[in-house]
Amino acid sequence: MNKPIDRNYFKKKNNPRSKKGPRFTKCCGQDKDLDNLNVNYSEDWKLIENHIERHLREYTKHISVTPVSCEQCGIFLEYVTEIDIDKTLGFYEKAD
């Protein structure tokens, strides 16, 4: 009985016929069992938009944020941020 309980334990418990371990998408290599955001779903897109809006308000030196997703399945992968170098350099020059 003294065994660690991990995600695979619950995957097996919830779906006894599933294969052991994670299953990955062929297009982008993401674990199918994770609850990933997907840009094709309106609720997920709203979460992504809200995050970007909060981020741009908080970090005024950031010009834009690009949500990167798999072009085939729509799984959200990462955010890429464009930073205003002139504002950033000005900040560090004033700090000296």
The pLDDT tens digits of the residues spanning 71-93 come to 999 999 999 999 998 876 655 55
Cα–Cα distance for residue pair 87/61, rounded to 1 Å: 6
Dihedral sign, Cα of residue 27, residue 29, residue 35, residue 37: negative
Rounded to the nearest integer, the mean pLDDT of the chain is 84
Angle at the Cα of 19 from the Cα atoms of 18 and 25, rounded to 5 degrees: 95
Burial 43-58 (b: 16+ CB within 10 A, else e): ebbeebeeebeeeeee
| Predicted TM-score (pTM) of this structure | 0.69
Domain ranges of the chain: 7-95
